């Protein structure tokens, strides 16, 4: 987390002070891609494996390729207008289920911001017209799904959370799965807080949840997380 923040500060620094944009190293990124290779093919003739092929990823609507059986969550993200750019790729590769509800990509995530940035440069190089695709970082800051460590450190009050939760239960009943409404009980608080802030920052595209999260203060989200963690 700290490394990530540092990279960004440097990115802004470069942009503002020298006019250079920050950029990953695609050759290094090809090595990082080894972490993806067991499930994803890329390059000439690449086809779907466990995961979809990753050619021409930039600008591609999430979950949109023919002949691949995506999760409902990834398809819903695409239907809500999410397409792959540097900021969404960064979030997904760092922590897949923080960005996409119930994604079927079973991958723990790449913690190193440098590795992710190099990997994104490699994926960009394997897209059509890479020179037309903006570099990652500085512009991405306003929609960043990363959560400030101080926000993650807030201890929520589960009783207040219970009071706030009545609004949530109009949709999030335990049997809502068929309507695309996931269960939200029993989550670790940290992951819950990250996900709520991903809606708040609009990195997660669902408009209903974006509106709900926008009306919640950091303390409200912490309280809800504390309450729902204890429910079964």
Binding site for ligand HEC (CB under 6 A): 35-36, 38-40, 50-52, 54, 57, 62-63, 65, 70-71, 73-74, 76, 84, 89, 92-93, 100-107, 110, 119, 164, 167-168, 170-172, 180-182, 184, 192, 195-196, 204, 206, 208-209, 212, 224
Nearer to ligand HEC, 11 or 73 (CB): 73
Identify the residue whose tokens are 């809800």.
Answer: 224
Taking residue 43's Cβ as centre, other Cβ atoms within 10 Å add up to 11
For residues 95 and 69, the answer to whether their CB atoms sit within 8 Å is no
Identify the residue whose tokens are 């504390």.
Answer: 226
In whole angstroms, how close is the CB of 19 to ligand HEC at the nearest point? 30
Nearer to ligand HEC, 51 or 138 (CB): 51
Nearer to ligand HEC, 20 or 177 (CB): 177
Which tokens go with 149?
């460590």
Nearer to ligand HEC, 15 or 133 (CB): 133
Return d(Cα 38, Cα 151) in angstroms, integer: 35
In whole angstroms, how close is the CB of 72 to ligand HEC at the nearest point? 8
Q: Collect all residues with Cβ–Cβ distance below 8 Å to 123 and sequence separation of at least 6.
A: 29, 42, 54, 57, 58, 89
């Amino acid at each position: 987390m700290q490394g990530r923040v540092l990279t960004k500060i440097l990115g802004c620094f470069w942009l503002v002070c020298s006019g250079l944009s920050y950029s990953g190293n695609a050759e290094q990124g090809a090595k990082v891609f080894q972490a993806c290779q067991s499930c994803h093919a890329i390059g000439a003739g690449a086809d779907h494996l466990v995961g979809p092929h990753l050619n021409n990823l930039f600008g591609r609507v999430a979950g949109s390729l023919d002949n691949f059986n995506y999760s409902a969550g990834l398809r819903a993200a695409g239907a809500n207008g999410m397409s792959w750019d540097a900021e969404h790729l960064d979030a997904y590769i760092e922590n897949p289920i923080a960005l996409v509800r119930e994604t079927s990509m079973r991958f723990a995530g790449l913690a190193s911001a440098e590795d992710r940035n190099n990997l994104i440069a490699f994926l960009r190089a394997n897209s059509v017209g890479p020179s037309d695709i903006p570099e990652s970082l500085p512009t991405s800051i306003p929609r960043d799904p990363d959560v400030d460590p101080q926000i993650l450190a807030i201890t929520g009050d589960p009783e207040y959370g219970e009071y706030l939760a009545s609004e949530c239960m109009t949709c999030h009943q335990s049997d809502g799965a068929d309507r695309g409404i996931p269960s939200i009980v029993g989550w670790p608080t940290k992951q819950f807080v990250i996900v709520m802030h991903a809606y708040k920052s609009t990195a997660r595209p669902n408009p209903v949840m974006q509106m709900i999260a926008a009306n919640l203060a950091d303390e409200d989200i912490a309280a809800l997380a504390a309450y729902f963690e204890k429910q079964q």
